[in-house]
Structure 1
Amino acid sequence: MSHDAPPARGTRLGRAAGANGTYSTVSGVVLLLPGSSRWHPGPVRPLARALARAGGADGLVAHTLVHGGRGSREEDARWAVGEVVRRYGDVPVCLAGYDAGGRAALLAAGHEAVNCVLALAPSLDEAPGAAAREPVKQLSGRQVLIVHGTNDARCDPEASFRLAARAKKANRATCRFEVHSDGHGLRDHRFEVVALAVDFVLGAMISGRWSRPVTDALAAPPPLGLRMPLASGFGRSLRG
């Protein structure tokens, strides 16, 4: 599917959240890519609300991609980036996904409008040797953050670590945080996960600055910057 090809039937961009809804005021767009289950959306909904609150005054808009149920999520994500460019013009785009949406965000990052990628508990191919086959060149030139719970029983956190290690070689602006004792839905530390995601997105798309933990993770060599622990209470005194 090309960037301009129509999406699978039923696939669409959800209503915009943030800014004031006029194209002239939009400075950046976050595309939120949900997981494979509508019953277990993970942190996508609270993240959309938090991004609208934190970045709306600076022109940040968030759209949740509604998957039509056919075709691949990667193809839908590529279409969505093209649709954002059609609607808003030359603005930076963040692909932020959870579960299957996390993998789609990583794979669809090659579009020239994408400037950062956020993958929360990404669902990656865990077959033997699969990590070495997942492409990473499309992440070059993007800011990349992967977040994974260490007790994720559905998507192996070590798979995202292996992918992050390969991505770091192609793109130094890659980091990964581990949420100790949390599972696939990242429920136990939801506040911290959302705060980390917002800090990363705002830094990549608006301010050019991050909190100290994110700055350190981006700068640290592997494996340190790829196994950065997400501290309890992160976000309660950001930039303080």
Structure 2
Amino acid sequence: MLERSVRRPRTAVLLLHGGRSEGMAPPARWNLAAARMRPFTRAILGATEGHDVLVGRVRYRHRGWNGERADAAVDARRALDELELLAGSVRVVLVGHSMGGRAALAVAGHDLVRGVVGLAPWCPVGEPVEQLADRRVVLVHGDRDRTTDPLGSRDVARRARAAGADACAVLMSGGDHAMLRRAGEWHTLTTGLVSGLLGLTPLPEPVRRAFEEGRDPATSD
């Protein structure tokens, strides 16, 4: 679903909301996981206004990841293929929360993708990272998250660097999985990361230094 359609976009942002580990039913028209991404969508639309950036949301056919089916990743890859037919070889940044973060990481090897912003991403042990080579990846995780493990983000960032990605994990002090605590800071940081990865503005300084030095930045206080 397009939030902003640009006739000749130079770049694009696709947002992917969270979901469940299992669930074959389609998401409801209104669901909390999608609602969590609306403030991020509005912030990104505002930050990219006037820059020929297409902004859209990935629609899932099922509520869950569903094991080896990886349904959310299948839908994300389909959305990228459709975007390529619509707009050509635009540079894409993916922004995904929780299950959407896992899907964004899984499809980052697609030719269009240049960067990934994972918000409290679901990163199981041993998740593949080879597809992240030559991509720029920032994973943001609250230290009070009780749904997905912040250590999973750090592990993926570390292994992604070894695989040839510019990658780091930012730990947000006091942040929770729903991104309600310090909500404004989640929105501001995410918008800054997206604008930086698109090349519209400099990356936030701690992330820029982390990329240069091949490490994770200090905790966001």
Q: TM-score range by the shorter chain?
A: 0.7 to 0.9
Residues 1:171 and 2:164 aligned together: yes
1:193 and 1:76 map into 2 onto residues whose CA distance is: 25
SS in 2 for 1:16: strand
Amino acid corresponding to residue 219 of structure 1 in structure 2: E
1:215 alignment partner, SS class: helix
Structure 1: distance between partners of 2:123 and 2:159: 14
**How far apart, CA to CA, are the structure 2 residues paired with 1:197 and 1:171?**
23
Structure 1: which 5+ runs fail to align?
1-13, 126-130, 232-240
Q: Deviations over 1:177-219 (max 9, x none)?
A: 1111221112111211121111111112133621312212222
Gaps of at least 5 residues in structure 2 are 21-30, 64-68
Give the superposition deviation at 1:27. 1.5
1:3 is aligned to: none
Residues 177 and 229, structure 1, Cα contact 8 Å, conserved in 2: yes
Could you list the structure 1 runs, at least 4 aligned residues long, displaced by more than 3 angstroms after superposition.
40-43
* Residues 40-49 or 198-207, more deviating: 40-49
Provide the residue aligned with 1:23 in structure 2.
7
Q: CA deviation at 1:42?
A: 6.8
2:15 to 8, 15, 32: 32
Equivalent residue letter for 1:102: G
Aligned pairs, how many?
205
Which residue of the partner structure matches residue 83 of structure 1?
82
CA distances 1:133-176 after superposition (whole Å, capped 9, x unpaired): 31111111111110001111011111111111111111341111
Tell whether 2:181 aligns with 1:188. yes
1:155 to 144, 148, 158: 148
TM-score, normalising length: structure 2:
0.86
Q: Indicate the percent of aligned positions where both proteins have the same amino acid.
A: 30
RMSD over aligned CA atoms reads 1.8
Matched residue type, 1:99: S
Taking the aligned partners of 2:200 and 2:33, their CA distance within structure 1 comes to 32
Kept in 2: contact 1:43–1:194 (CA 8 A): no
Correspondence list, 1:22-101, <5 A:
22-24=6-8, 26-36=9-19, 38-41=31-34, 43-69=36-62, 72-101=71-100
Deviations along 1:43-74, one digit per CA (max 9) or x if unpaired, are 42111111111112111121011211176101
| Aligned counterparts of 1:228 and 1:61: Cα–Cα separation in 2 | 32
Distance 1:119 1:194 in 2: 13
